[in-house]
Structure 1
Amino acid sequence: MAFIAKATLFLLSVAVTVKNSLSFNQTSGIPGNSVSPHVDIHRDRFMNFTELSGHYGFATEEHTVTTEDGYVLTVFRMTGRDCVEFNKSPVLLMHGLFQSADAWLDAGPDAGLAYLIAAQCHELWVGNQRGNYYGRRHVRLDPDRDAKFWKFSTDEMGIYDIPAIVDYVLKNTRQEKLIYVGFSQAVGTSLIMCSERPGYCDKVSLIIALAPATRITNIKSVMLKTIFETVNKLQGVLLSTGVHELFARGALVQGLLGQLCKFRSTSRTICGTGLGLLDAFHPGSIDDDALQLIATHTPAGTSTQTLVRYGQSLKTDKFQKFDYGKAKNLEIYGTERPPVYNLDAATAPVALFYGLNDNVDDIEDVFWLKNQLPNLVEAIQIADPLWNHFDMIYSRHVKKLVYPKVKQYLFNYS
Structure 2
Amino acid sequence: MSGGSRCSLLRPTNLQPVTTIFIVAVCLAVAATAARPAPMIAGTSLATAAANGTCQSRVVPFGYGCEEHTVTTEDGYILSLQRIPTGRGETTAVAAGGGGKVPVLLQHGLMMDGVTWLMNSPNESLGYILADNGYDVWIANTRGTIYSRGHTSLASTDSAYWNWSWDELASKDLSAIVQYVYSQAGQQKMHYVGHSLGTLIALAALSEQQQVGMLRSAGLLSPIAFLDKMSSPLARAAADIFLAEALYWLGLSEFDPTTESVHSLVTDICKQPGIDCYNLMSAFTGDNCCLDNSSVQVFLAHEPQASATKNMIHLAQMIRLGTIAKYDYGNAGDNTAHYGQATPPAYDVTAIPDDFPLFLSYGGRDSLSDDQDVSHLLRTLGRSHSHDGDKLTVQYLADYAHADFVMAGNARERVYAPLMAFFKLQEK
TM-score band, normalised by shorter chain: 0.7 to 0.9
Deviation at 1:255, TM superposition (A): 8.1
Partners in 2 of 1:11 and 1:101 — Cα distance?
Answer: 29
Partners in 1 of 2:265 and 2:426 — Cα distance?
Answer: 43
> Which residue of 2 is the match for residue 127 of structure 1?
140
Cα distance, 1:341–1:38 mapped onto 2, change above 3 Å = same
Deviation at 1:113, TM superposition (A): 0.9
Give CA-to-partner distance per residue, 1:213-253, whole Å, 9 cap, x none.
Answer: 012110000112223344x3552x43343311112556454
Conserved 8 A contact 2:27-2:234? no
Deviation at 1:45, TM superposition (A): 5.0
2:370 is matched by which residue type in structure 1?
Answer: D
Is 1:369 aligned to residue 397 of structure 2?
no
How do 1:383-398 residues align onto structure 2 when only pairs under 5 Å count? 383=397, 385-398=398-411
2:367 is matched by which residue type in structure 1?
Answer: N
**Counterpart of 1:205 in 2: which secondary structure?**
strand
Task: Give the counterpart of 1:308 among 309, 313, 319.
Answer: 313
Task: Give the counterpart of 2:255 among 231, 246, 249.
Answer: 246
Give CA-to-partner distance per residue, 1:182-207, whole Å, 9 cap, x none.
Answer: 101111101222234x4512211100
Cα distance, 1:224–1:82 mapped onto 2, change above 3 Å = same
Conserved 8 A contact 1:246-1:304? yes
Cα distance, 1:39–1:411 mapped onto 2, change above 3 Å = closer
Give CA-to-partner distance per residue, 1:249-281, whole Å, 9 cap, x none.
Answer: 5645468879999xxxxxxx8553232121222
> Which residue of 2 is the match for residue 407 of structure 1?
420
Conserved 8 A contact 1:217-1:315? yes
Conserved 8 A contact 1:5-1:226? no
> Which residue of 1 is the match for residue 349 of structure 2?
343
**Counterpart of 1:315 in 2: which secondary structure?**
helix
Give CA-to-partner distance per residue, 1:153-182, whole Å, 9 cap, x none.
Answer: 100000000010000001111124110001
Conserved 8 A contact 2:159-2:254? no
Conserved 8 A contact 1:56-1:109? yes
Partners in 2 of 1:255 and 1:378 — Cα distance?
Answer: 46
Conserved 8 A contact 2:24-2:234? no
Conserved 8 A contact 1:133-1:249? no
**Counterpart of 2:160 in 1: which secondary structure?**
helix
Conserved 8 A contact 2:119-2:295? yes
**Counterpart of 1:206 in 2: which secondary structure?**
strand
Give CA-to-partner distance per residue, 1:115-147, whole Å, 9 cap, x none.
Answer: 111111200000011122122221101111x21
Task: Give the counterpart of 1:138 among 141, 151, 156.
Answer: 151
> Which residue of 1 is the match for residue 285 of structure 2?
279
1:378 is matched by which residue type in structure 2?
Answer: L
> Which residue of 2 is the match for residue 193 of structure 1?
205
Is 1:80 aligned to residue 87 of structure 2?
yes
Deviation at 1:87, TM superposition (A): 5.8
Give CA-to-partner distance per residue, 1:355-408, whole Å, 9 cap, x none.
Answer: 11111111111111122333562343344x221111111111101211110121
Deviation at 1:294, TM superposition (A): 1.1
Task: Give the counterpart of 1:381 among 386, 395, 404.
Answer: 395
**Counterpart of 1:352 in 2: which secondary structure?**
strand
What TM-score results when the alignment is normalised by the length of structure 1? 0.84
Conserved 8 A contact 1:254-1:296? no
Q: Which deviates more from structure 2 when the two are superposed, residues 172-181 or residues 365-374?
A: 365-374
> Which residue of 2 is the match for residue 264 of structure 1?
none
The Cα RMSD (Å) is: 3.1
Conserved 8 A contact 1:101-1:128? yes
**Counterpart of 2:105 in 1: which secondary structure?**
strand
Is 1:163 aligned to residue 166 of structure 2?
no
**Counterpart of 1:110 in 2: which secondary structure?**
coil
Is 1:297 aligned to residue 302 of structure 2?
yes
**Counterpart of 1:340 in 2: which secondary structure?**
coil
What TM-score results when the alignment is normalised by the length of structure 2? 0.82
Partners in 2 of 1:258 and 1:136 — Cα distance?
Answer: 27
Give ranges in structure 2 of 5+ residues lacking alignment.
11-19, 30-35, 382-386
Cα distance, 1:274–1:111 mapped onto 2, change above 3 Å = farther
Partners in 1 of 2:199 and 2:224 — Cα distance?
Answer: 6
Across the two proteins, how many residue pairs are aligned to each other?
A: 387
**% identity of equivalent residues:** 27
Conserved 8 A contact 2:244-2:309? no
Conserved 8 A contact 1:217-1:313? yes
Partners in 1 of 2:360 and 2:262 — Cα distance?
Answer: 32
Give ranges in structure 1 of 5+ residues lacking alignment.
18-23, 27-36, 262-268
Deviation at 1:88, TM superposition (A): 3.5
Partners in 2 of 1:66 and 1:40 — Cα distance?
Answer: 37
Cα distance, 1:379–1:259 mapped onto 2, change above 3 Å = farther
Cα distance, 1:138–1:223 mapped onto 2, change above 3 Å = same
**Counterpart of 1:116 in 2: which secondary structure?**
helix
Cα distance, 1:228–1:46 mapped onto 2, change above 3 Å = farther
Q: Which of these two proteins has the greater Rg computed from alpha carbons? A: 2
**Counterpart of 1:74 in 2: which secondary structure?**
strand
